[in-house]
Structure 1
Amino acid sequence: MGKIADGIDALNEWIGRFVAWVVTLLVAVVFIDVVMRYAFNTSFVFTQELEWHLFGFIFLMGAGYTLLYDQHVRVDVIYQRLSKKAQAWVNLMGCIFFLFPGAALIVYISSVFTWESFKFMEGSPDPGGIPFRFILKGCVPLGFVLFFLQGISMFNRNLNIILNNKSYGNQEESN
């Protein structure tokens, strides 16, 4: 099970590093948009939509990476005071009751509207907008598949803590 978790971690690590470069691209696009608006009193629909698309891509594709490093949002008032084994139980139950069903549901539902978007080669309804909106919609199920996979890694690592009373891999670094 450790090799599977390591492979999932490596995949999300690689994707997370790629997404970091996309953040740099987003900053450049926003900068150009602001300069065009305030210095030249003009703006382009394409640029504004590109900002939304890049942000959506970053959020969706970076979710697994965020979970890899245990940087997702949670209320740590009680959790941080628990033992490693108790934290592992909380994480395990969170995976079973929230992460797996939630991610699976989003993958299933978003796959339907993504397929429709691909089928019709959906683009922006606005003149001058991005013609390939279906690509961003494809990031919804893909991003949640990566998140689900990272949940499997997290589940395996926390199960190992419960059963063997020791952690391995990224779990040690992030706690």
Structure 2
Amino acid sequence: MRGIFNTVRWICMVLTATVFLGQLLIVLMRYLLGFGFLEIQDAVNYAFASLVALSVIVAFDGGNHVRVDVFRQKWDDAVNRRIDWLGDLLLALPVFGIMLWAAFPLVKSSWVILEGSPETGGLPGLFLVKTCLLILPALVILHCLQRLIGAVRQAFK
């Protein structure tokens, strides 16, 4: 599992560079040279959408997701771990399970028609970006299950 999360982290770094350099190129071309390419704008949009979706699991895996730290800092590590487990079990798993279930028809129909850019002359491959709507919840669910299974193993040692 660690290899999957490290790969996603690396992909997010590449996507970040793509968004930054692509947007810089768009601005320079538009304001210095007076023209632009729709394909570059689509590539930046696709990279940004993918980055937003995939960075959720990077934050989740690194423990950088949103918490109410005002309370957490007063409690010991055992209490915080139990709260994290309850959050995984009662919040993350159901929410991301529903997201996976709800996104599947959208992604499936996008793959059936091999959906591309809504702009005339834009890039093909929007269906690949929409696939991130399935990858995101699947990875979060795997991460939560991994943590919960680890907690159960630890409890029975």
Superposed pair shares fold, TM > 0.5: yes
Q: Which consecutive unaligned segments of at least 5 residues does structure 1 have?
A: 1-7, 166-175
| C-alpha RMSD of the superposition | 1.9
Partner of 2:63, secondary structure, is coil
1:67 matched to 2:63? The reply is: no
Deviations 1:83-134 (A, max 9, x none): 1111011101111111001111111111110000111111122112122111
Q: Which consecutive unaligned segments of at least 5 residues does structure 2 have?
A: none
Return the offset for 1:158. 4.5
- More RCO (CA 8 Å, sep 6+): 1
Q: Partners of 1:142 and 1:153 in 2: how far apart?
A: 16
Q: 2:86 aligns with which of 89, 93, 99?
A: 93
- Number of matched pairs: 157
Partner of 1:77, secondary structure, is helix
Match of residue 134 from structure 1: 127
Return the offset for 1:160. 5.7
State how 1:84-163 maps to structure 2 within 5 Å: 84-159=77-152, 163=155
Return the offset for 1:44. 2.6
- TM normalised by structure 1 equals 0.81
Question: In percent, how many aligned pairs have the same letter?
Answer: 18
Return the offset for 1:147. 1.6
What amino acid maps onto 1:94 in structure 2?
A: G
- TM normalised by structure 2 equals 0.89
Partner of 1:135, secondary structure, is helix
State how 1:160-171 maps to structure 2 within 5 Å: 163=155
